[in-house]
Amino acid sequence: MKLQSNINSTIDQIISLYLNSVNRSFPHLLEGFYLYGSIALGDYSLELSDIDFIAVTKERLHDAEVAILNQVHREIESKYKKPNLNGIYLTWSDLGKLPENTQPFPYFCDGVMHRSGYFELNLVPWYELKVHGIRIIGPDISTLEIEVDFEQLLSSMHQNLNEYWKNWIRKSSKRFSLASLALYFRRADIEWGVLGITRLYYTFREQQITSKAGAGEYALKVVPARWHRVIQECIHTRRGEAKSLYVSKIQRKKDALGYMNYMMSESNKIFNSIINKRCEK
């Protein structure tokens, strides 16, 4: 069953297997199934990306349904090691909500089925679904009641910048930490950091959301040339190009952390400028 012509064939096969397996066990359980994230943004990597989904059911799932869905996910992972299906199981009334406005829900992440939690329930997925989402089954996305306050979205991203990413840089800068050692040996960790923080920079600067590679391409046009090599290295990594642009892993790590600190500073400057302009109105 071919879902959409613009979806990679492997991703198409995984989603088709998932939907067929669920429907065999629970016909009509899924009333909606939507993709967001890197696939929806046109920047998926079979090795680095996940298949981010939002599944919608009429009511909260019962324990028996969660158990069967866990079996379905494990069946798929036994056949396809990459990419991973990561997603959340919500009801229609949950769409667009934040944790403070709804009850916890089942979700599947990195090979584990969780009975209850708030995985991925923030403004970024709702924005990506509303603006870039892909409908597999269910009502057209344009008809869904999803509202995103973009100013609130920017504020949450600013908090993420100065909490998650600041801590990520700090741990990766320690001489003997696991995070620090990973940057020597794993290009994927460098790609995660460099392009992840660049996406925030792009959003603050352009008031939009783009993919990791899209943010990297954008940065090549606007940041000083001294950072271009490490940015291009990460774009190549995301696109599956095996050859590194660096001879020295030490220099690559140094450039990555230097660039990320630069991005921290620039992103905070842009965000503060946005806040000052709001206060002047």
CB within 8 Å of 86: residues ≥ 6 apart: 50, 51, 52, 53, 108, 109, 110, 120
Determine the pLDDT at residue 5: 47
Pairing between β-strand 30-35 and β-strand 50-57 as defined by DSSP bridges: antiparallel
CATH, range 150-280: 1.20.120
The CA R_g of the chain, rounded to the nearest whole Å, is 20
Q: Mind giving me the DSSP string for 62-127?
A: PHHHHHHHHHHHHHHHHH--SSEEEEEEEEGGGTT--GGGS--EEEEETTEEEEEE-TT-SHHHHH
pLDDT tens-digit map of 192-236: 999 999 999 999 999 999 999 999 999 999 999 999 999 999 999
Determine the pLDDT at residue 98: 94
Task: Walk along the chain (281 residues) in steps of 10 and give the mean pLDDT of each run.
Answer: 63 93 93 93 76 95 95 92 90 95 94 94 94 95 93 95 95 81 82 96 95 95 98 93 92 95 98 85 63
Domain ranges of the chain: 9-143, 150-280
